[in-house]
Structures are given as structure tokens and as C-alpha cells.
Amino acid sequence: MSSTTPSAAASAPLRAARKGRPDRSQWIGLVYIAPAIALVTVFFVIPLGMTAWMSLHNWPLMGGHSFIGLDNYVAITKDTRFWNALKFTLYYTVIITIAIFAVAFPLALFVERPGRMTGFYRTSFFLPVVVGFASASLLWSWLLNVDSGLFSPAAYQLGLTPKKVNLIANFDTAFWSVIVMVVWKVAGFTMIILMTGLQSIPGDLTEAAKIDGANAWQRFTQITLPLMRRTLALALILSVAGSILAFDQFYIMLRGGPRNSTITAVYWIFNQSFVSFKLGYGAALSMVLLVILVVLSLIQLRLLRNPEGT
Amino acid sequence: MAAATLSADRGTLGSFVARHSIGLFLSAIFIAPIFWTLLSSLKPPPEARQPPLPPWPTTGFSIENYVALDSFGAGLWHSAQNSIFVSVSSVLLTAVISLLAGYGFSRFTFPFKNLFFIMILSTIMIPFQSILTPIFLLLATFKLQNTLTGLVLVYVTLQLPFSIFMMRNAFDAVPKEIEEAARIDGARSVALLTRIMLPLVWPGLVTVALFAFLNTWNEFIAALVLMTDQEKFTLPIMMTAVQSGRFGAINWGAVQAGVTVMMIPCLILFLLLQRFYIRGLTAGAVK
């Protein structure tokens, strides 16, 4: 398909010329978009089709593959480790989304109005966002290290713990360490989105409510929150979609441990496809993940298109 | 806390002090990990192995941690070169392709235009993590497995939905009259694009380039899956190998140095081009 697109683009003006259509010069537009279409076709549309196709096969890395129908999908229903990974991913998604909003909303209120130093505050809170997830994870894996890191030795030296605690050795401390890292890394992003939402609320609305005697809390719940519904929906969906695809931080900081308790859905697919090289099975798992994300995106489109119908 | 600060009258000294104490404290928390790493990376290796208390070097500054990085595998500077090649090529290709496509989608009417546009934009809904296996096989078919070129092509494709959306909007914002005036003056399509339109959509293009750089410089899972040869590792993959102890005992001083090398370009570019970044963020968020 990729090879036909550029040639179709080239022949289009000619065809138009033969028919003598007046807008044939417009068809040159196809030439301008041809490189983009070619890339998206080769590296997105075709792989997408291949994922679906491969999911119906037993497909090892070496040797031939064989058509097995829906067997991979049947196997998924019995794959308790995948369901555990999915369960963990959803658990993580819920906790991290709440945590991000709990931090980002107050920050957004704090930096919403321009004032002295506000630019500096916005920039500081936002800086971790531009650092990549891999860099942030490497950085925090050092801070969390029991011997050379910051937290355990500091707690020990301050006398908070009787001995150095290895934070990544048990599930709860490891999990919450990742939560703290991710909140530090992405709260600034959510803050900016919420801030633009806050700034789009007309000032005279809140002023009028103030004159009518509404207190700060009433103004916040009666005016600010309802008017921010679209922004909230957007920030929520972005956070949820990003969290469901979490991989870097759990791979780099925890290696899925302790005892495989922090394997996310993408991590499990990665293991099946590129560690065990069960490419067909990995493709079927990918299809499940893909359906979840597409459903989420459709909900998003709906929420954003229709501000009334939440 | 923040609500109280917000409702407080900013004219009084008390609320002024409260607001800025909170602000400076929170800023310090957000910036601290970055500075902590930066400072610790400058310690001599024996000190860098100790807990970073205090964060600054106490036994003299040293760049040995950075020197040590080059002893791992193919060497950090080799990986840095790979990262630079991949990011710069991706930025250039993304800029050119999205500039052309944005122009095409904004200024011309042709068959299936909306279909193509929706096709490109809708790829944003699909997690690319789910199509990595076929991409791996496709690159092998094209004899591009384990090549930086292959990785660049994949990265550019992933940048396109956002970039084309940005560029189409940038072109839409340019009044048609400017173009018509130039046409009457005899400017041809390509000259029109590069001489007349480019300066007008320049801010959009900077935004696109900035996002392309940050995204490709920091990308992890695709590089991890597609680049299996140590010679082709990008920085995040290389540093993860160092941090996992793949090259022997974990050298935390080297990890601090590597993380610093990974963070600095992003921080500098962001601080220089902040307004372009925020523009991209809000354009993506509002539309």
C-alpha cells in the first residue's frame, strides 16, 4: 500500500488533467502529504494489521509459524499472570491518578494568577516533566538505593529507623516509592493543563458569586469545578492512558520485583514477546491492551466533544 | 493550603511571606533531585559511592565519574553519539515531513483528504507498544534491524500525528490573502512555501521540533526492543545496562554522571524554548 500511495499522488494531477477538472492543481496537495502517509502506512497501519494477523498464529522468533485460530486468546483467559499484571496496572492507575490530582490541583491554584515569582514557580514545578521517564527512573533508583542512596541512609542517620531499610525489597515501600517518583515527574504537566482550565473561567463569574455572599469553598465547588469539567476530563484521561501503559519506571527501578509483584501489562507483553519470544501470544496480548486503550480514547472523544454529557 | 493563599489578600506582608515561603519550599522539592544528581556526579568515585549527604562534593571536585562511563560496553560517548544522531535526524525529518503535510492538509483540496487526516490523527489512540513486534519484524525485512536509521523512521512516525496537527493549525492561521498576493507576484508553490510561508509558521515548527527532540531523546521501550546490539544503544538503554549491573558491580557515581548527561540537553532546551513548549501543550490540550 505504501508503494501505491506516492504513485497515486503523482498520477492524480494527470488524471485530473485528462478529465479537464478545474481543481486539478489542488491535487498537488497529495504530493505534500505523501511522505507522511507513506511512513504512517509502513510503520503504523501495516504493523497494526500484522499484530492482528500474528495474534492468530503460533509464531516463534525462529522457525515457521502456524495458524491456530483463537487459541492464543483462549490461552489469555487462563493466563493468571497476565490478569495479575492487568490488575496491578489498574491498581497503579487508580492510585497514581488520585495522587497526581491531589498534588497538581493545589499547585495549579497556586500558580494560576500571574504575580511576582509565579513564572519561576511554574518553571520549577514543571522541570521534572521534561526529564525523560528513563532518566527520572535511573535518578530515583539511585536515591532509593539502600547503601549509596539518599532516603534509607538519611532516615537511619536521623534515627528514624533502627537500621537502613531497603525500600525496594517489599511491595508496599517499592510501590509507593514509584508513586512518589511519578508524582514528582508528572504533577507539573497536569498542573499546566488544570491551570489553563482555571484561567479560562471568566473572572466576573467568581466576582459575582463573591458579591452574592458565596465563600471560597462554595465558589470552588459551584463555579470552578463545573466549568472545568472538560479540562478535568482531559487531564484525567491523559493520566489514565499514560498509567495503563506504564513500563519504564517499573522496569528500571524495580525490574518487576519484588517477586514479580510489580509487573505491568506492557511489561508482561514485553516479557512474552521479547524475553520468551512468543511473538504470536504477545500479539494477542497486545490486541487486548489495544482494545482497552481504544475504548478509553473513544470515551475521551465523547467527554471532550460534549461538555454537557458527562 | 493553596486555596488559603489564593483567597488571602496579597497586599499584606503576612500573606506575601506565606505565599513565597510555600512557593520556594515547593520549588526546592521539585528541583532538588535534579541538583542532587548534578552535584553528586562531580564527586570523586569513592565519595560518590557513599550516601549523598551532603549533596555537594566534600573531598574535592572530580570528573572521574564521567570518564568512567566510557569504560562500559561500547562506551557512554558512543551511546551519546547514537542518541544525538537519532534525535537530530528525527527532529529534522519530523520537521520537514510535518511542514509539507501541514501545508498540504491546510491549503489544498483533494480526494480522501479527510480520510488521510483522520488516519494519521487516529494513530494517537493506539498504543505503539502494542505494535512493536511487527515493527521489529518489518525492520528485519527491510534489512534495518539494529540500525539507527530504522529507529529514526519509527520515531518520526510516532511524532507525526501531533506534529502534523500542529503544522496544519499553524498554516490555517495564516491568512489566505498573503499567499494569493505572493502568487500574483509569480511565486511558485515550493518557493511560496519556503520563502513566504515558512517564516509565518516558524513558531509552530519550533514547537514540533522541540517535542520531537524531547520525545526521541528520552524514548525507552522501542529503543530497548529494537536495538539489541550494544554498538547501537542509545543513552537510556546504555545507562539502564550500567544501572542493572550488567557491566559488573553497579557504579552509582557513573549512574549519576550518565543521568546528568541525559538530563542536561532537555533542561537547557526547555528553559530556552519554554513558551514554544507551553504552546504545544495547550494546543494539544485545548483542541
Nearest CB partner across the interface for A138, out of B96, B157, B239: B239
Compute the mean pLDDT over every residue in chain A, rounded to the nearest whole number: 87
Predicted local distance difference test score (pLDDT) of residue A43 = 95
Residue A281: pLDDT over 60: yes
pTM: 0.89
Are B33 and B129 within one domain?
no
Query: A16-20, A191-195, B104-108: lowest mean pLDDT where?
Result: A16-20
Q: Is residue A112 within 8 angstroms of chain B, CB to CB?
A: yes
In percent, the amount of chain A with pLDDT more than 90 equals 56
pLDDT digits (tens, 9 = 90+) for B181-235: 877 777 677 778 888 889 899 999 999 999 999 999 999 999 999 998 889 999 9
Are B27 and B113 within one domain?
no
Mutate which of B27, B30, B167 to disrupt the A interface (most A C-beta within 10 Å)? B30
In this structure, is the dihedral angle defined by the CA atoms of residues B42, A146, A95 and B3, taken in order, positive or negative? negative
Q: Which residue has the higher pLDDT, B187 or B281?
A: B281
Cross-chain Cβ contact B120/A294 below 8 Å: no
| Alpha-carbon span A73 to A76, nearest angstrom | 5
Confidence of residue A227 (pLDDT cuts 50, 70, 90): confident
Residue B153: pLDDT over 90: yes
The number of beta carbons lying within 10 Å of the beta carbon of residue A40 is 28
DSSP string, B124-163: GGS-GGGGHHHHHHHHHHTT-TT-HHHHHHHHHHHHHHHH
Are B41 and B99 within one domain?
no
Residue A7: pLDDT over 60: no
Q: Is residue A40 within 8 angstroms of chain B, CB to CB?
A: yes
Are B116 and B204 within one domain?
yes
Cross-chain Cβ contact B31/A154 below 8 Å: no
pLDDT digits (tens, 9 = 90+) for A61-73: 887 888 998 999 9
Predicted local distance difference test score (pLDDT) of residue B285 = 55
Predicted local distance difference test score (pLDDT) of residue A23 = 67
What mean pLDDT is predicted for residues A91-113? Answer: 95
Q: Is residue A47 within 8 angstroms of chain B, CB to CB?
A: yes
- The residue written with cell numbers 543513552 in the block is B235
ipTM of this complex: 0.89
For chain A, positions 15-34, list CB contacts with chain B under 8 A: 23, 26-33
Cross-chain Cβ contact B130/A255 below 8 Å: no
Are B148 and B275 within one domain?
yes
Nearest CB partner across the interface for A40, out of B119, B256, B267: B119
Query: Where does residue B60 fall: left (phi above 0), alpha (psi -120 to 50 degrees), or beta otherwise?
Result: left
The number of beta carbons lying within 10 Å of the beta carbon of residue A294 is 14
Cross-chain Cβ contact A134/B236 below 8 Å: yes
Residue B2: list chain A partners with CB under 8 A. Answer: 106-107, 109-110
Query: A32-36, A201-205, A240-244, A291-295: lowest mean pLDDT where?
Result: A201-205
Are B123 and B188 within one domain?
yes
In percent, the amount of chain B with pLDDT more than 90 equals 55
pLDDT digits (tens, 9 = 90+) for B29-53: 999 999 999 998 898 888 877 888 8
Are B62 and B78 within one domain?
no
Predicted local distance difference test score (pLDDT) of residue B152 = 97
User: Last residue of a domain, which of B67, B82, B110?
Assistant: B67
- Provide the number of structural domains found in chain B: 2
| Alpha-carbon span A268 to A274, nearest angstrom | 10
3-state SS, chain A, equals CCCHHHHHHHHHHHHHHHHCCCCHHHHHHHHHHHHHHHHHHHHHHHHHHHHHHHCCEECECCCCCEECCCHHHHHHHHCHHHHHHHHHHHHHHHHHHHHHHHHHHHHHHHHCCCCCCHHHHHHHHHHHHHCCHHHHHHHHHHHCCCCCCCHHHHHHHCCCCCCCCCCCCCHHHHHHHHHHHHHHHHHHHHHHHHHHHHHCCCHHHHHHHHHCCCCHHHHHHHHHHHHCHHHHHHHHHHHHHHHHCCCHHHHHHHCCCCCCCCCCHHHHHHHHHHHCCEHHHHHHHHHHHHHHHHHHHHHHHHHHHCCCCC
Residue range of the domain that includes B15 = 2-67
Residue B6: pLDDT over 50: no
pLDDT digits (tens, 9 = 90+) for A144-196: 998 888 888 888 888 888 888 888 889 999 999 999 999 999 999 999 999 98
Q: How far is B43 from chain A (nearest CA, A)?
A: 13
Are B23 and B39 within one domain?
yes
Are B77 and B37 within one domain?
no
Q: How far is A276 from chain B (nearest CA, A)?
A: 13
Cross-chain Cβ contact B37/A51 below 8 Å: no
Are B124 and B154 within one domain?
yes
* Cβ neighbours of residue A270 closer than 8 Å, sequence gap 6 or more: A247, A251, B129, B221, B225
* Cβ neighbours of residue B125 closer than 8 Å, sequence gap 6 or more: A293, A294, A297, A298
Residue A153: list chain B partners with CB under 8 A. Answer: 51, 53
Are B95 and B237 within one domain?
yes
Predicted local distance difference test score (pLDDT) of residue B119 = 93
Q: Is residue A286 within 8 angstroms of chain B, CB to CB?
A: yes
Predicted local distance difference test score (pLDDT) of residue A11 = 44
Q: Where in chain A is the domain with CATH 1.10.3720.10?
A: 74-305
Residue A76: pLDDT over 90: yes
Are B174 and B256 within one domain?
yes
| Alpha-carbon span A272 to A168, nearest angstrom | 24
Q: Is residue B244 within 8 angstroms of chain A, CB to CB?
A: yes
Residue A222: pLDDT over 90: no
Class in CATH terms, A74-305: mainly alpha
Closest residue in A to B240 (Cα–Cα): A252
Confidence of residue B138 (pLDDT cuts 50, 70, 90): very high
Mutate which of A135, A180, A288 to disrupt the B interface (most B C-beta within 10 Å)? A135
